[in-house]
Structure 1
Amino acid sequence: AAGLRSGALLAGAGGLLAIMSALGSTSFARASARAWGILTAAALVLAVVGWIVDTWCRIERR
């Protein structure tokens, strides 16, 4: 559950920062937007992996 939540949080924050950086006109802003885009993609992968693991690891009550 931690990977799912942290991945979703980082994806939201990274996506927002990527959009904000892409609006800049300098080369640094464009490079920063690319870096934030990569972070957002990695965070989405983390969220998906967290969701998959969360569905696999169910503890049944006895």
Structure 2
Amino acid sequence: MAQSPSVSEVRVEDHELNESIEFFRDIVTGPSEKFARLNLLQPLTGQEFSKKVAENCTAYLK
């Protein structure tokens, strides 16, 4: 039984994906758990963003 290639073994050029209708069809129709919408009200640094996410998670779990 042949194994599927790992991600590191698959090499695809970006122009090949841009020209692939199947690639975009798979993205749109493929399985997904949830789509999220993110609106940035103010720009945050990485550290500020991490802190805000932690605060929101803590508030959600309370």
Q: Give TM-score, length-normalised by structure 2.
A: 0.30
Larger radius of gyration: 2
Q: Give TM-score, length-normalised by structure 1.
A: 0.30
> Which of the two has greater helix per residue?
1
